[in-house]
Amino acid sequence: MTTLEKAKKGEVAVRGLSKSFALKGQPLAVLRDLNLNIRAGESLAIVGPSGCGKTTLLRVLAGLEAPDSGEVLIDGAKVGGVGRERAIIFQEPRLLPWLNVLRNVGFGLEMRGLPRDRAEAHARRYIRLVGLAEFEEAYPRQLSGGMAQRVGIARALTVQPEILLLDEPLGALDAMTKLTMQEELARIWREEQVTLILVTHDLEEAIFLADRVLVLPKEKGAVPRLINVELPRPRDRNDTVFVAMRRQLMAEFGLH
């Protein structure tokens, strides 16, 4: 497959998506008739107050959760469950403690029947991509939080997904590591040409990484909003337009 062909894949369409959960016997509507088109190779951030349904939306996109009504289409095909073209990364990387970095990253490919040496060869490429070449032999307990999350990202990329779904992946990291990892994610997104769908509660992170930001409201009946981030890349957090956008997004949530 050529790079050009790959770049065209990973388009997501959300059509009339609704999802509720039962709360004390009453249905709690979390997603209400959501419609959304995400271009192949786009970077979309999803922000919103705690409990507004960000994780639920991501889980539905991943195929881990079925919607009550509506559908998700990937490259025109209806999603019926998890699929190889999608990979999801959670806040905690959930590495296997008894495997070293190399085998943790190659594990998904081994599970798919690739012989161990070939799985490891693929894994090495992604370990380099996330800057951990020196740590192939290290075990998860020897890694910092940021390094462990890099391993999680490498593991997700090794299976070459078209769509990378991330649920607050940097939420547990300290402020400095988080900034570095945001730069890393921006670079990885550019180099791998994946569709990136990133849930975050960090508005600056959303502006730094996304082409568009989906703002999910918490109040019933309020409509989700899409905001274009028309800033050149690589982005400068101190740019006046960047700062103004952050202020605008904060105002969406009544923050100053």
Which CB atom, from 55 or from 158, has the smaller least distance to Mg ion? 55
Which CB atom, from 48 or from 67, has the smaller least distance to ligand ADP? 48
Cα of 17 vs its chain's centroid, Å: 19
Site for ligand ADP in 9-28 (CB under 6 A): 21, 28
Site for Mg ion in 7-66 (CB under 5 A): 54-55
Going by DSSP bridges, is the β-strand pair 12-23/69-74 parallel, antiparallel, or unpaired? Answer: antiparallel
**Amino acid occupying residue 82:** V
- Element (DSSP H or E) covering residue 206: helix 203-209
- Beta strands in the chain, from DSSP E residues, in sequence order: 12-23, 26-38, 43-47, 69-74, 77-78, 86-89, 163-167, 195-199, 212-215, 225-228
For ligand ADP, the binding residue among 10, 41, 53, 169 (CB under 6 A) is: 53
For ligand ADP, the binding residue among 14, 17, 45, 56 (CB under 6 A) is: 56
Radius of gyration of the CA atoms of the chain, in A: 18
For ligand ADP, the binding residue among 40, 41, 44, 54 (CB under 6 A) is: 54
Q: Is 51 a residue that touches ligand ADP (CB under 6 A)?
A: yes
The sign of the dihedral angle between the CA atoms of 207, 209, 215, 216 is negative
For ligand ADP, the binding residue among 2, 3, 26, 50 (CB under 6 A) is: 50
CB of 203 vs Mg ion, minimal distance in Å: 15
The one segment of 53-61, 94-102, 114-122, 175-183 that binds ligand ADP by CB under 6 A = 53-61
